[in-house]
Structure 1
Amino acid sequence: MNDAFLDTARRVIRIEADALSQLEAGLDDSFTRAVELLIAAKGRVIVSGMGKSGHIARKIAATLASTGTPAHFVHPAEASHGDLGMMGQGDVVIVLSNSGETPELADVIAYTRRFGIPMIGVASRADSTLLRQSDVAIVLPRAEEACGTGIVPTSSTTMTLALGDALAVALMEHRSFTPERFRDFHPGGKLGAQLSSVDDLMHLGDALPLVTRDTEMSDALIEISQKGFGVVGVTDEAGLLAGIITDGDLRRHMDGLLALKARDVMTASPTTIAAGSLAQKAVGIMNARKITCLFVVPKEGPALPIGLIHIHDCLRVGLG
């Protein structure tokens, strides 16, 4: 029996994978025109569908919204009872329907035609009402459904979902959507932690352990102890980061340490990280160099120490 279940699972995945291959091969300039229409939208992208297509539409709307394209889902049945008002001039509507003849979509289609709202239709029948009325018609391949009976939406919903992802990624690439911007829409959870920037976690101002090159080591030791990071940055006459003193530097200069100045003990040109960098990058640098903290400097210009990020700050938010 277990083998039979595995055989079923593999058959389903194989059929749906074949459907995706057909979708890839069948893409044409209608996809390009759909992306161009979405790029030109001054308002929001409205995604609508009924039944299983509705579930896919919700996911597509969520993916678009989280990747820099304002979007939301409108339920076609609710649209007929007031939610048509959620669509307006400047919007673009994406309507999903495998058959292209879903009755509940009639009011959505009619509303877009009446008010000149551009509509992208996605269906498997080129001669369907939906695609004939659409400004851009994307035809899904008539691929075999994986259920075996041909009546349960499986391959068709997989293709529609993949098509939505393709639209979202095409828009992301056009807009040069960065991980840093992605975090703006995902501040919570593990994903938010992974996309945190050093600016979110770094210590600033009076918390920074800093001395000048001419500082006596007795005073440098006090600064290290008071600030609690186990290091102290050493600045030059212009206030730029010239070096760093770590526990290792102290051990190497143990004999006669208090008779020295910071310039005599420091490691010159320390490793830094640019402001705005992902905290995950900082973790990678610290792990690779076996250090516990990094001074943060401006992305461009002189190496002015504007912050400090410690490995404990990263571990606290789930990085490491």
Structure 2
Amino acid sequence: MSPVPRSRPPVTELPESGPGRAGRISPHLDEAAAFSDRWVRRTGLIQSFSAQRRFRRAGCAEFAARVAPEAECGRLQRVSAWLVWFHALDDRFHHREEESPYGYDALPDFLPPDGGRTPPPRTALQRALADVWRMTAPAMSPAWRARVTARFLECAAERRAWDALAPGIVPDLVEYACGNELAAPLRELASFRAALEATTTVLAQGGAAREALRCALTRLEHEAPAPSSAAVAAWSRALSLWADGHLAWALREGPAGETRRLLLADDVTGVPVDLLRPRRPAPPPIPSTSGGAGTALHRGRE
């Protein structure tokens, strides 16, 4: 499951979280869009002009600006990169009925909790994951880094479980976006677990679960001890805004049930390009007919 809505829910599922909140958008949208455009090309997630056009039309940075409207500029850019990465993984995971296990098991190796070295990335997804991790992990606690890494390890142990990765990691991204991490005792509360479950349901089913999320967050704020109240309030607000932005984005255009895919796994001719395949080595130079060495034109693909 991608954190970006893949289809438009019925119009009856409008978020009901207060006047104007569903339409909020970060003032740093333009900076996030420019950053994302550079980032996908630098990491190799974009492999053709047609994929670049699809990526720009998809508006991933606008989606990030809606789900994290209060994030400061740098954090919004990195949240946008995470969302693009998950969207690319979702594209690849659902592109074929039978998936090769190659590449998936190695993804956790590119999330060193201690900030250490990683293996040389051989694919665009590995390279992009290592890059976004280097940008975000140093600002977070060892517990946050270990938690995110554990989610990847769980999915790697069950090769068909990558669908559950994005919904599970959204609350962690919300912590990063708002700059407030929740203490370990808070995570043991039943209201916190209910909020996580409701978040997953909102991402999967839309606004039908929005009220359950609101109730769980209200209970969490009431149960939080005084020293943690400010952090809990900030996280709850950020998670509520994420849910509102997610629903508002899903409802913004197109008929109900319309499928939206980034389709970065297609190249300019429409032939699937495996984002989890190692980059092919450049071919040897082609001798020039004029006597020079000459160089073959080569466009690397993942």
In terms of fraction of residues, the more strand-rich structure is 1
In terms of fraction of residues, the more helix-rich structure is 2
Q: TM-score, normalised by structure 1?
A: 0.21
Report which of the two structures shows the higher radius of gyration computed on alpha carbons: 1
